[in-house]
Amino acid sequence: MKESQYETIEQQMTPTPPYVVNVLKAFLIGGLICVIGQAISFFYMIFFDFTEKTVGNPTVATIIFISMILTGLGLYTRLGQFAGAGSAVPVTGFGNAVVSAAIEHRTEGYVLGVGSNMFKLAGSVIVFGTVSAFVVALVKTVLVMLGVVTW
């Protein structure tokens, strides 16, 4: 069998993924996670001394904590299977990436297993997040120095 023949057979056999349904599921679940996040930030603003400027930190921490607990209980996997990107793109995906890697490598020991593999996936998020934040801050500083925008 030629390579091209194999490819055509393979393409015929592979089921086409339901893109529209997947996008809708991701939109709905991702949106739901954001609604929960908004509710948590309102909770912090109403019952504690947080303003809209400062409420981001505790809200993100809480959301990550919840997703970590759900991952540990094995519930986040189900959500991920159903919603796909909708569960990975919000900050909950970060918590999930950290804990699932830690659980996966638990048998290899605490140092070489959990410790060294915990940030296997989330490490790139941290590195590129920090680098892009630095670049954005640099651009803004230059623009402020030139007098184009103000802080």
For other proteins, the binding residue among 23, 24, 39, 42 (CB under 8 A) is: 42
Residue showing tokens 């094995």: 74
Shortest Cβ distance from residue 132 to other proteins (Å)? 21
13 binds other proteins (CB under 8 A): no
Joined together, the tokens standing for residue 91 give 């900050």
Are 7 and 13 in contact, with CB atoms under 8 Å apart? no
Shortest Cβ distance from residue 136 to other proteins (Å)? 17
46 binds other proteins (CB under 8 A): yes
Shortest Cβ distance from residue 57 to other proteins (Å)? 8
Q: Which is nearer to other proteins, 19 or 151 (CB)?
A: 151
50 binds other proteins (CB under 8 A): yes
For other proteins, the binding residue among 32, 34, 36, 45 (CB under 8 A) is: 45
Residue 83's closest CA among 137, 126, 22, 40?
Answer: 22
103 binds other proteins (CB under 8 A): no
36 binds other proteins (CB under 8 A): no
Q: Which stretch binds other proteins (CB under 8 A): 1-9, 40-48, 61-69, 94-102?
A: 40-48
Contacts with other proteins by CB under 8 A lie at 42, 45-46, 49-55, 57
